[in-house]
């Protein structure tokens, strides 16, 4: 431990906190960045330095860090009823109102909403319900769930198994059985020479069908996908990809789970990315922007055919034996409901559509740097990928050092971004303005210029 840190917050953090997604050896040497305040799209550290939070925290603080209506909603509910549960037919008004509102907003007809506390828990619940559904309708062999390499669906034992990233599997004895992974639809990185986006999408659908055939269609219960891959590098689907994927799923009667944890509630310029990419899922998971991250809450939408099977199974067993103490927590539900009201009353989705073109233009402009191989994104989410050779798309070796270096330089310039290997993600609060977009990208360009000069 760095002795110069003394009894500071940093030293106490090193001594006591086990950090997610952190290299512990490096952390013990440098200590944490301690964030102490927030205002709009900005956060500040213990020294008073301000940063543009270019990742909305973790893809989630859609309304920024000082929305007083959300603070008031939480306070009012804490004073009224700080907690009650949803077990055994109990409920609360905020939970009922939120579920009702979500069903009204759903991009495709849905029957019920199940509440949890995180995207991981929502995904884990979806997995259990897929298995329960097929048992209830008399197809106990139809249990395997297909995800995608580089997909991200959470970190519980089951949801981390769906996540298609090696760092989430190694040393954890994951993935568990009944979980499969098909190809990543990253056109720039994975396409064959002279292959069109449509041809590439056809090949990806064929790869999925080949996997289904190899495993046996009678064993495949569901397929899960993010409309835009988030933590896997912000991978936007190639043209016609989801149309062709959904044709395969329909052919073999396979449930489709749309993971809208990052994209839901305006990120792509529509309320749900399922609308953006014409998805017709049987289940939808949401979290993050559901409450603008002011309270931990997630939700799983299920359609009527799934609910009917769950009801049948619960009648046979005597109870539906799944749920969490904090499912539909009234304070979290009240904050989420107020968040949805703000989205409507302040026309947040319209605002995203107004600024997303400028955001994507400034992102594309980064292609002028020699070591940026690709920029990609949609709406108010994007990434740029660093490469050793632009023409050959040669990655840096070892993977990750370039991304880490650029993210640290951006931090020095006052922008918080996230390195995922050598791809750098951007996902600013939905309330960001054109002027703030320019400020953010100006700082990123200064950081990239310094990095190019140093290598």
Residues 6+ away with beta carbon under 8 Å from 321: none
368 φ, ψ (degrees, to nearest 5): -70, -20
DSSP states along 29-55: HH----EEEEETTEEEETT--EEEETT
Whole-angstrom Cα distance, residue 432 to residue 438?
Answer: 10
Short-list 80, 74, 87, CA closest to 325: 87
The domains located in the chain, with CATH, are 33-66+347-454 (3.90.1150.10), 70-345 (3.40.640.10)
Q: pLDDT by residue for the chain (455 residues), tens digit each?
A: 344 557 899 999 999 999 999 999 999 999 999 999 999 999 999 999 999 999 999 999 999 999 999 999 999 999 999 999 999 999 999 999 999 999 999 999 999 999 999 999 999 999 999 999 999 999 999 999 999 999 999 999 999 999 999 999 999 999 999 999 999 999 999 999 999 999 999 999 999 999 999 999 999 999 999 999 999 999 999 999 999 999 999 999 999 999 999 999 999 999 999 999 999 999 999 999 999 999 999 999 999 999 999 999 999 999 999 999 999 999 999 999 999 999 999 999 999 999 999 999 999 999 999 999 999 999 999 999 999 999 999 999 999 999 999 999 999 999 999 999 999 999 999 999 999 999 999 999 999 999 999 98
DSSP β-bridge partners for residue 418: 425
Angle separating helix axes 330-345 and 348-365, nearest 10 degrees: 80
pLDDT tens across 191-205, in order? 999 999 999 999 999
- Give Cα separations from 217 to 32, 183, 345 (angstroms): 48, 18, 46
Alpha helices in 81-182 (DSSP H): 93-105, 119-136, 157-162
Single pTM value for the model: 0.96
> What's the confidence (pLDDT) of residue 3?
43
SS3 of 433, please? coil
- What is residue 7's predicted lDDT score, i.e. its pLDDT? 86
Name the strand (E) or helix (H) holding 351: helix 348-365
- Copy the structure tokens of residue 319: 């109870």
CA-only gyration radius of the chain, Å: 22
Q: What is the DSSP string of 54-96?
A: TTHHHHT-TT-S--HHHHHHHHHHHHH-S----GGG---HHHH
Host H or E run for residue 419: strand 418-420
**DSSP summary character for residue 238:** P
Q: What is the largest CA-CA distance in the chain?
A: 68
DSSP 287-347: -GGGTTTSS--EEEEE-HHHHHHHHHHHHHHSS-----TTTT-HHHHHHHHHHHHHHHHTT
What is the edge-to-edge ordering of all strands in the sheet holding 418-420? Answer: 372-378, 381-386, 423-426, 418-420
d(CA 383, CA 394): 17
- pLDDT tens, position by position, 152-180: 999 999 999 999 999 999 999 999 999 99
Q: How far is CA 387 from the centre of its chain?
A: 25
Helix axes 348-365, 434-454, angle to 10 degrees: 30
Residue that has been written with the tokens 């400020």 in this structure:
439
Q: Are 43 and 53 in contact (CB under 8 A)?
A: yes
Cβ-Cβ contacts under 8 Å for 42 (sequence gap 6 or more): 50, 51, 52, 53, 64, 65
Of 323, 299, 326, nearest to 310 by C-alpha is 323
Q: What CA–CA distance (Å, rounded) separates 430 from 427?
A: 8
Q: Whole-angstrom Cα distance, residue 360 to residue 352?
A: 12
Give pLDDT, residue 1: 38
Asked whether the beta carbons of 187 and 234 are under 8 A apart, the reply is no
The answer, yes or no, to whether the previous bond of 398 is cis (omega within 30 of 0) is yes
The whole-number pLDDT of residue 2 equals 46
CA dihedral (85, 91, 96, 102) positive or negative: positive
pLDDT of residue 5: 52
């Amino acid at each position: 431990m760095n002795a110069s840190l003394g009894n500071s917050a940093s030293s106490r953090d090193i001594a006591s906190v086990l950090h997610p997604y952190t290299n512990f050896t490096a952390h013990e040497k440098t200590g944490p960045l301690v964030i102490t305040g927030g205002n709009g799209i900005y956060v500040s550290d213990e020294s008073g330095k301000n940063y543009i939070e270019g990742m909305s925290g973790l893809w989630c603080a859609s309304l920024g860090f000082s929305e007083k209506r959300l603070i008031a909603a939480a306070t009012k509910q804490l004073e009224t009823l700080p907690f009650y549960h949803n077990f055994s037919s109990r409920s609360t008004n905020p939970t009922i109102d939120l579920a009702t509102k979500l069903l009204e907003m759903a991009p495709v007809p849905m029957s019920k909403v199940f509440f949890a506390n995180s995207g991981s828990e929502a995904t884990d619940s979806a997995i259990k319900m897929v298995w329960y559904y097929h048992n209830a309708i008399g197809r106990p062999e139809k249990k395997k769930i297909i995800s995608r390499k580089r997909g991200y669906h959470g970190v519980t034992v089951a949801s981390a198994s769906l996540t298609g990233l090696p760092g989430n599997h190694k040393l954890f004895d994951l993935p568990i059985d009944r979980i499969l992974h098909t190809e990543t639809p990253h056109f720039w990185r994975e396409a064959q020479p002279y292959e069109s986006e449509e041809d590439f999408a056809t090949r990806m659908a064929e790869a999925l069908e080949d996997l289904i055939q190899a495993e046996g269609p009678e064993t495949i219960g569901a397929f899960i996908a993010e409309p835009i891959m988030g933590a896997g590098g912000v991978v936007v689907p190639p043209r016609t990809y989801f149309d062709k994927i959904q044709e395969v799923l329909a052919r073999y009667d396979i449930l489709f789970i749309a993971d809208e944890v990052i994209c839901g509630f305006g990120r792509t310029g529509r309320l749900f990315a399922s609308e953006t990419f014409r998805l017709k899922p049987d289940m939808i998971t949401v979290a993050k922007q559901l409450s603008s991250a002011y309270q931990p809450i997630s939700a799983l939408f299920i359609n009527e055919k799934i609910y009917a099977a769950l009801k049948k199974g619960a009648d046979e067993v005597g109870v539906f034996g799944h749920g969490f103490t904090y499912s539909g927590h009234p304070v979290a539900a009240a904050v989420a409901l107020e968040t949805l009201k703000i989205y409507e009353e302040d026309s947040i989705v319209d605002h995203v559509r107004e600024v997303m073109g400028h955001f994507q233009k400034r992102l594309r402009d980064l292609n002028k740097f020699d070591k940026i191989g690709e920029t990609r994104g949609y709406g108010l989410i994007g990434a740029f990928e660093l490469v050793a050779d632009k023409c050959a798309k040669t990655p840096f070796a070892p993977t990750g050092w370039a991304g880490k270096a650029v993210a640290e330089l951006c931090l020095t310039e006052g922008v918080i971004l996230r390195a995922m290997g050598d791809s750098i993600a951007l996902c600013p609060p939905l309330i960001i303005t054109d002027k703030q977009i320019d400020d953010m990208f100006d700082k990123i360009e200064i950081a990239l210029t310094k990095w190019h000069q140093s290598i």
